[in-house]
Structure 1
Amino acid sequence: MHADQDSQYAATRFKDLLARHGALPSMSRCGNCYNNAHAESFWSRLKTELLDGGVFPGLAEARLEISHYIAYYNAERRHTALGYQSPNHFESHLQTMS
């Protein structure tokens, strides 16, 4: 579970929750805002484009919608940092060049 250095992600209760679910914590290095910029960008887009202040009716709906969003984000969504290509297209193009 990647997060920034906000206090809620460093709190003991949150760390315990991760441990109970077998998740490993991951944080950006202090003072290095570009350490994990791609993950930060993804979470920002997910919050803005999918959640938009709303909530899911239940866990099953949340899992389904989030999995659909991840598929869209990787296969179709164009990213300015990738020359307006999807991540999948960008990576496949890189592999053909090497």
Structure 2
Amino acid sequence: MGAVGSSADNAAAESWNATMKRETLQGRKGWSSEREARLDLFRWCHCYNTVRRHSRLGQCSPISHETTLNTTSTTLAQAA
């Protein structure tokens, strides 16, 4: 995150918005209702945050990436 007013301040949000617009509006002229638009956006956000592969994660989905990170034991070692 950049400093307030710098060009890097909104770079991540702008990139996310551009991706969302490109993937949800592709081939679509509009929605029949506000509810349908909200549901479509919710579906896209859910897919983006759980299923969609991300280049930053080595082309893994966030769920599979977190699963591979959580392979350490969660039990405490016995005190000596």
The two structures have a TM-score, normalised by structure 1, of 0.55
Q: Which residue of 2 aligns with 1:66?
A: 41
SS in 1 for 2:23: helix
After TM superposition, the structure 1 = structure 2 runs for residues 84-95 of structure 1, keeping only pairs within 5 Å, are 84-95=59-70
**Alignment coverage as a number of residue pairs:** 70
Residues 58 and 89 (structure 1 numbering): CA distance in 2 closer, same or farther, change over 3 Å?
same
Q: Of residues 6, 18, 27 in structure 2, which corresponds to 1:44?
A: 18
Q: How many angstroms apart in 2 are the aligned matches of 1:62 and 1:35?
A: 24
More helix per residue: 1 or 2?
Answer: 1
The offset of 1:32, in angstroms, is 4.6
Kindly indicate whether the alpha-carbon contact (under 8 Å) linking 1:79 and 1:87 is maintained by their aligned counterparts in 2: yes
Q: Structure 2: any 5+ residue segments left out of the alignment?
A: 74-80
Q: How many angstroms apart in 2 are the aligned matches of 1:29 and 1:95?
A: 35
Kindly indicate whether the alpha-carbon contact (under 8 Å) linking 1:29 and 1:35 is maintained by their aligned counterparts in 2: no
Structure number with greater CO (CA < 8 Å, separation at least 6) is 1
Q: Structure 1: any 5+ residue segments left out of the alignment?
A: 1-27
Identity %, equivalent residues: 36
Q: How many angstroms apart in 2 are the aligned matches of 1:33 and 1:76?
A: 27
Q: Which residue of 1 aligns with 2:52?
A: 77
The offset of 1:62, in angstroms, is 0.6
Q: How many angstroms apart in 1 are the aligned matches of 2:33 and 2:52?
A: 26
More strand per residue: 1 or 2?
Answer: 1
The two structures have a TM-score, normalised by structure 2, of 0.64
Q: How many angstroms apart in 2 are the aligned matches of 1:55 and 1:61?
A: 10
Q: Cα RMSD over matched residues?
A: 2.7
